[in-house]
Structure 1
């Protein structure tokens, strides 16, 4: 594939009008989710895919001693239980989709062996003018998650930006400087600083963090993710489930059903657009600075930062995440968070946390917030 000459489908008014006609209508025909059930293995694979080894998700003997009496899943595990919340978007065939954020509310924990059904609809379409690709369409979905007892476990909204790949490649200015930079090469001392943060990463665990002891302005220990590698992107896809990664006959069936999905590879074979996460050539062809991480992966890192801090007896009520740029191979991001509000709501002792993730060059990668319920003395 030659990135200079390859022409991709464009946003058309007819396709956009068709998509607008779907707003508010429940989606009946959806792709099979990666996980129907929160099994021991599914939970562990997801947690390990985002680099989280909290024993509350990963060690049954440890988890049995907690108030849950067994394993629970990290809150962001539900990304694996819905293709729609994870970025599967209908309409505008062949037009690039970039997952760019989510707002979550959790009502109940996800227990081991819970199974899930969902209901979803297209909530809105919002037009933007962007530095990445000029005109972009923000496509917003709402998804509800129910367990096997019919209880509402969580609800969320997520959005993708639909962009013309050709315009992003030829006229986008967002990554002009990034593409001109020499590839990042880490010195041993730089790596040592990153690895030291991994060494000092604290999982609060069974030591309660009491609401009474938290103060506005308290900072969470800095968390690091990276340096970004294709291996890391694939590790997340193993636990979360790549949207379009299919083999042989199943790939053929997918592309037959959705002809705009397949993008020919260097052998002339239609292959999935998800290759932007491991194939730098395709990523550059759609205007990105190189093979880059998954959006839900970044959201999961922000919630990981909070669950480490809150401990086993905390409960993540809400989380919001906005993706601000791609994280290509070689980038490292540093997550800093602080308590910005402390309040009581109907007897629940809550704190609000503001989050920011910056690259090694100080560029904003993502921002977010969380509301955590904590035990009180």
Structure 2
């Protein structure tokens, strides 16, 4: 994709770059609901037991429900199920159900109407409707579902761009939806704010490290002991759970399970082909060697060139940590139905995140599903809130019985119907 638009005579006319215009927003909104293939293939085409284990380990989860077939066979699920993290995750799973843009809409989908406008990953919403079992192929649909014109505190005008990916298995079971918020702001105005100039990276004392190690030693999944809905009260606490101090090793282990992400990063000859495909994602280092901008996550010099004091995590990592907090608390008989979170501050290498939650509501969802809503938060060792979130968890009940899984949006039976229902949500 080039970012140019075609005139009626077929000539390429360069669109204004770096500026949010009414015309650009109108063109972007015209794309809502149009299915298109994902830019890169899935990391796992047919995820099995090994994939389930690698993904859980990538974010530090030792729940045997996701990793031990013998244990999982004794649970209400009767065998391994994937961690909620795996069912989505940008590029983890999902072969394209729609492999090319429909011919009548190719001109509409060509280029980026907001070319040159700064984009940052601001928030995520995920929901889960059914478990993924081992050794199934997974299919996905992808579409823009919401374009919201918003005033911005520091950039004058911003666009909230929501995209959706929805997933099913090869038997037609609808599994999950994942919705990403990219906030688009004009670069010149966005640069006026220097939010991270005063971040101080302070070494830990031996006592602080000992406190973190003691917290790790105290953590474990609830497992087979049911957390009954009747035993939960508003104000109950989840956690604490600790993640950190973040190291480059943590980042490496993350990639082992999660793959290399949205830009299709690969090594050597495969990397050269990727450079030819997306050359502007590659920048030269001090030896004049082109490398991916993703290097900001493991190379302090690259991170500093991008305006940060040092390397930092992926926002998606902290989302998976909040998922881990919920699944450790709720036990194997429960179901994580929905989780949303915002990425408000960077999590730098050396930072420690303390995760906590509070039950804010106990109720019957849809009239008959025992549920709780939970406020979630991740705070670093400086006491800064980096990742607020919210979750809905379905719990087993002595009165109402085992968890009954949620219905997909619109009670749809296929991915096209699910996407249509999601678009309707954002259009309210």
TM-score scaled by structure 2?
Answer: 0.77
Following TM superposition, by how much is the alpha carbon of 1:139 offset from its aligned partner in structure 2, in angstroms?
2.9
User: 1:283, 1:289 within 8 Å by CA — same for their partners in 2?
Assistant: yes
Does the alignment pair 1:367 with 2:374?
Answer: no
Which protein is bigger by CA-based radius of gyration?
2
1:318 equivalent among 313, 338, 342: 338
1:342 equivalent among 341, 362, 377: 362
User: 1:121, 1:141 within 8 Å by CA — same for their partners in 2?
Assistant: yes
Alignment correspondent of 2:161: 139
The two structures, once aligned, show a CA RMSD in angstroms of 2.7
C-alpha offsets along residues 151-176 of structure 1, whole Å, 9 cap, x if unaligned?
Answer: 211112112345677876x6432112
CA distance, structure 2, for counterparts of residue 268 and residue 62 of structure 1: 52
C-alpha offsets along residues 13-47 of structure 1, whole Å, 9 cap, x if unaligned?
Answer: 59956655533321135311212233111111111
The answer for unaligned runs of 5 or more in structure 1 is 1-9
C-alpha offsets along residues 339-374 of structure 1, whole Å, 9 cap, x if unaligned?
Answer: 110111332111111111111111011011111111
Does the alignment pair 1:285 with 2:285?
Answer: no
Describe the shift of the 1:272–1:163 C-alpha distance in structure 2 as closer, same or farther (beyond 3 A). Answer: farther
* SS in structure 2 of the partner of residue 222 of structure 1: strand
CA distance, structure 2, for counterparts of residue 100 and residue 234 of structure 1: 23
Does the alignment pair 1:11 with 2:1?
Answer: no
325-334 or 288-297: which moved more? 288-297
2:266 equivalent among 209, 223, 246: 246
Describe the shift of the 1:143–1:35 C-alpha distance in structure 2 as closer, same or farther (beyond 3 A). Answer: same
C-alpha offsets along residues 264-321 of structure 1, whole Å, 9 cap, x if unaligned?
Answer: 2222233212111111222222233321111111100001000001101001111111
Describe the shift of the 1:241–1:80 C-alpha distance in structure 2 as closer, same or farther (beyond 3 A). Answer: farther
1:174 equivalent among 195, 201, 212: 195
CA distance, structure 2, for counterparts of residue 273 and residue 83 of structure 1: 20
C-alpha offsets along residues 81-103 of structure 1, whole Å, 9 cap, x if unaligned?
Answer: 63799xxxx84668765332211
Does the alignment pair 1:55 with 2:77?
Answer: no
1:230 equivalent among 248, 271, 277: 248
1:129 equivalent among 139, 145, 152: 152
Following TM superposition, by how much is the alpha carbon of 1:129 offset from its aligned partner in structure 2, in angstroms?
3.2
User: 1:34, 1:80 within 8 Å by CA — same for their partners in 2?
Assistant: no
TM-score scaled by structure 1?
Answer: 0.87
Following TM superposition, by how much is the alpha carbon of 1:221 offset from its aligned partner in structure 2, in angstroms?
2.4
Does the alignment pair 1:28 with 2:19?
Answer: no
* SS in structure 2 of the partner of residue 202 of structure 1: coil
* SS in structure 1 of the partner of residue 34 of structure 2: coil
Q: How does 1:82-231 map to 2 (within 5 A)?
A: 82=91, 91=112, 97-126=119-148, 129=152, 137-162=159-184, 171-178=192-199, 181=200, 183-231=201-249
CA distance, structure 2, for counterparts of residue 124 and residue 44 of structure 1: 34
CA distance, structure 2, for counterparts of residue 16 and residue 287 of structure 1: 28
Describe the shift of the 1:47–1:93 C-alpha distance in structure 2 as closer, same or farther (beyond 3 A). Answer: farther
C-alpha offsets along residues 191-242 of structure 1, whole Å, 9 cap, x if unaligned?
Answer: 1111111111131001111111111111112011100111112211221112
* SS in structure 2 of the partner of residue 231 of structure 1: helix
CA distance, structure 1, for counterparts of residue 118 and residue 371 of structure 2: 39
Following TM superposition, by how much is the alpha carbon of 1:140 offset from its aligned partner in structure 2, in angstroms?
1.6
Following TM superposition, by how much is the alpha carbon of 1:116 offset from its aligned partner in structure 2, in angstroms?
1.0
Alignment correspondent of 1:76: 85
Alignment correspondent of 1:7: none
34-43 or 18-27: which moved more? 18-27
Following TM superposition, by how much is the alpha carbon of 1:73 offset from its aligned partner in structure 2, in angstroms?
1.2
2:288 equivalent among 268, 271, 284: 268
CA distance, structure 2, for counterparts of residue 71 and residue 223 of structure 1: 24
Alignment correspondent of 1:44: 53
Describe the shift of the 1:24–1:277 C-alpha distance in structure 2 as closer, same or farther (beyond 3 A). Answer: same
Describe the shift of the 1:224–1:164 C-alpha distance in structure 2 as closer, same or farther (beyond 3 A). Answer: farther
Following TM superposition, by how much is the alpha carbon of 1:327 offset from its aligned partner in structure 2, in angstroms?
0.2
* SS in structure 1 of the partner of residue 347 of structure 2: coil
Describe the shift of the 1:49–1:97 C-alpha distance in structure 2 as closer, same or farther (beyond 3 A). Answer: farther
Q: How many residues align?
A: 360
